[in-house]
Amino acid sequence: MHVLHERCCGLDIHKKSIAACRLTLGPDGRPKKEVQTFGTMTADLEDLARWLEHAQVTHVAMESTGVYWQPIYNLLEERFTLLLVNARHIKAVPGRKTDIRDCEWIAELLQHGLLKGSFVPDRPEREVRELTRYRTSLTDERSAEVNRLQKTLEGANSKLSSVATDIMGKSGREMLEQLVAGTTAAAVLAELAKGTLRNKIPELERALAGRFGPHQRFLVAQQLAHIDFLDETILKLDQEVAERQRPFEQAKERLQTIPGFGRRATENLLAEIGMDMTRFASAKQLASWARMCPGSEQSAGKRKSSAIGQGNPWLRRTLVQTAHASARTKTYLGAHFQRLARRRGTKRAAIAVGHSQLKIVYHLLRLPVVYNDLGPDYFDRRDSTALQRRLVTRLEHLGFEVALKPRPA
């Protein structure tokens, strides 16, 4: 096979060691193979970089194994052309798998140009991505802690969550603090309700007439303190992410005109795909990279599977959430969701609408234009004859004889 990269290296990365195979062409044109093992400390990585520079290596390939590739990528990205490769795409021959053999196999594939690197954003984008993912994890942890709080209240025969929509709202929070302080009179606690919740004071009195013991008072106090800590940390992360994405405010405002997109969803989306859409040849390629489109698996003329496959779970989560949010709006995307949900179910509808949203995002970032919604009646206007025929058929099945007469203009 044709040699594409004359000086390259393959890395097999583990938590404590790195097996490196350096391939260069000798004076006779034959490949020269050198294998060495390095540690993963920063000093060891510097030794690896010097070892590669000594042979004038230009390209380095490595597997995307967990998070162990990240420190190596951060240290080598400014010195070499790096390829981060999906481990499923470079499986070695069964029965011959060792660390040395793996790095040799990666180097051989790289030398002949048989590896395709995964998309790795620039260093500033990777930093913002870490912040947004950590914020999402803390948001999940806060939701879990609120659920634990509700479980503690249920154990105390307190049914506050059955009456108040949000027990962590202003009214619910004051009631919980008074419970922790030792107030147990249901009438006194119910009077702390504010706004429309005051219309439910009789129900609140019944719901708060429980058996709140000392250990439950202690648990609720700790849980409220934990929730306050998480709220404070999430607020700091919001500020840090907003500061780092300040240069993209105009783009964020355009994206928030898409139904279902709020500030946090927009920040998470930009952290995952970045601002530079020239990385992707088209909106379809972006959707394919995100695995937000059906897969393609055919054999003997038969289509076997249409599963979307594994992609970026953080990006998919954001798009599914925005798709469900758009389903509650009277827009084109909302009508698209409802139309698909009736036939294929809400899960497939969420993926399909998320796919559409991602393509819209691509065009809004590639061409700085404003989103123009097609309207909730787009599908009716697109083929009014089919809609008319379908409605007439339904009425005839119900036993009616239908005669249509055009209305005067």
DSSP class of residue 14?
Answer: -
Q: Quick one: 238 and 262 in the same domain?
A: no
Q: Quick one: 182 and 205 in the same domain?
A: yes
- Cα torsion 328, 330, 333, 338: sign: positive
pLDDT for 95: 62
Q: Quick one: 128 and 240 in the same domain?
A: yes
- Rounded CA-CA distance 373/275 in Å is 22
Evaluate whether residue 338 is within a structural domain.
yes
* Beta-strand relationship, 17-25 and 31-39: antiparallel
- Domain termination residue (choose one: 65, 81, 111): 111
304 pLDDT above the threshold of 80: no
Evaluate whether residue 188 is within a structural domain.
yes
19 pLDDT above the threshold of 90: yes
Q: Quick one: 164 and 273 in the same domain?
A: no
Residue pair 270/252 in contact (Cβ under 8 Å)? The answer is yes
Between 397 and 307, residue with greater pLDDT: 397
Q: Quick one: 240 and 258 in the same domain?
A: no
Q: Each residue of 208-228: b (16+ CB within 10 Å) or e?
A: bbbebeeebbebbeebbebbe
226 forms bridges with which residues in the sheet? none
Phi then psi for residue 23, to 5 deg, are -115, 125
Q: In this structure, how many other beta carbons lie within 10 angstroms of the beta carbon of residue 375? A: 13
Structure tokens at 102: 């793996």
Evaluate whether residue 2 is within a structural domain.
no
Average pLDDT score over residue span 341-360: 94
pLDDT for 384: 84
Of 103, 60, 64, the closest CA to residue 78 belongs to: 60
Q: Quick one: 358 and 286 in the same domain?
A: yes
Phi then psi for residue 22, to 5 deg, are -100, 120
Q: Quick one: 219 and 270 in the same domain?
A: no
pLDDT digits (tens, 9 = 90+) for 70-98: 999 999 999 999 999 988 777 766 666 78
pLDDT for 133: 96
- Rounded CA-CA distance 47/70 in Å is 17
pLDDT for 79: 92
- Rounded CA-CA distance 331/375 in Å is 5
CA distances from 225 to 64, 136, 279 (A): 39, 20, 45
Q: Quick one: 129 and 234 in the same domain?
A: yes
Q: Quick one: 215 and 280 in the same domain?
A: no
pLDDT band at 60 (very low <50, low <70, confident <90, very high): very high
Q: Quick one: 59 and 95 in the same domain?
A: yes
Of 124, 77, 125, 117, the closest CA to residue 274 belongs to: 125
Evaluate whether residue 408 is within a structural domain.
no
Evaluate whether residue 100 is within a structural domain.
yes
- Domain termination residue (choose one: 244, 278, 313): 244
212 pLDDT above the threshold of 80: yes
pLDDT for 101: 87
Evaluate whether residue 373 is within a structural domain.
no
pLDDT digits (tens, 9 = 90+) for 352-381: 999 999 999 999 999 888 899 999 989 888
Residue-range definition of the domain harbouring residue 62: 7-111
Q: Quick one: 238 and 253 in the same domain?
A: no
The DSSP secondary structure of 380-405, one letter per residue, reads HHHTHHHHHHHHHHHHHHTT------
pLDDT for 322: 96
Top mean pLDDT of 82-96, 294-308, 389-403 is at: 389-403
* Beta-strand relationship, 59-63 and 31-39: unpaired
- Rounded CA-CA distance 129/120 in Å is 11
- Domain termination residue (choose one: 244, 266, 286): 244
Residue pair 50/32 in contact (Cβ under 8 Å)? The answer is no
Residue 219 identity:
L
Q: Quick one: 195 and 258 in the same domain?
A: no
Q: Each residue of 229-238: b (16+ CB within 10 Å) or e?
A: ebeeebeebb
Domain count, the chain: 3
pLDDT band at 297 (very low <50, low <70, confident <90, very high): low
Q: In this structure, how many other beta carbons lie within 10 angstroms of the beta carbon of residue 176? A: 22
Give the chain's mean pLDDT.
90
pLDDT band at 239 (very low <50, low <70, confident <90, very high): very high
Evaluate whether residue 396 is within a structural domain.
no
Of 226, 249, 265, the closest CA to residue 144 belongs to: 226
Structure tokens at 379: 């599908």
Residue pair 84/69 in contact (Cβ under 8 Å)? The answer is yes
Assign residue 58 the CATH number of its domain. Answer: 3.30.420.140
- Rounded CA-CA distance 281/279 in Å is 7
Evaluate whether residue 383 is within a structural domain.
no
298 pLDDT above the threshold of 80: no
Phi then psi for residue 268, to 5 deg, are -65, -40
- Rounded CA-CA distance 277/283 in Å is 9
